[in-house]
Amino acid sequence: MLKCRELAQLASEYLDGSGPKSLKWQIRLHLALCHNCRRFVRHLRTTRELAARVSALEPAPKGQSAKIVQILRSRD
Ligand SMILES: [Zn+2]
């Protein structure tokens, strides 16, 4: 089984949907069994979504950090 450290390194690829299928299953198995990594991947996904949204707001408006805080709060 994958180690947590290995999963952390592969998580980004996993969220992209890239990488071999066998690896995806290993990651899914690990996530099914490991609460910490589930949380880690969930946070990583959220961060990536936020980064995508923020980069869609170009040109960067004033008060962008306030906007990020607002988005973060709305997700909890
Ligand atoms: Zn783990």
| Size (the chain), residues | 76
Look at residue 29 in the predicted model and tell me its pLDDT.
97
CA of 58 to the centre of ligand 1 (A): 36
List CB contacts of 73: < 8 A, sequence separation 6 or more. none
d(CA 74, CA 51): 15
- Residue-by-residue pLDDT tens, the chain, 76 positions: 999 999 999 999 999 998 899 999 999 999 999 999 999 999 999 999 999 888 887 665 667 778 888 888 887 6
d(CA 29, CA 31): 5
CA of 48 to the centre of ligand 1 (A): 20
Structure tokens that stand for 65 in this block: 């950090």
Q: Determine the distance from the C-alpha atom of residue 26 to the mean position of all C-alpha atoms in its chain, rounded to a whole number.
A: 17
Look at residue 48 in the predicted model and tell me its pLDDT.
93
Q: Determine the distance from the C-alpha atom of residue 33 to the mean position of all C-alpha atoms in its chain, rounded to a whole number.
A: 18
Look at residue 47 in the predicted model and tell me its pLDDT.
94
CA of 46 to the centre of ligand 1 (A): 18
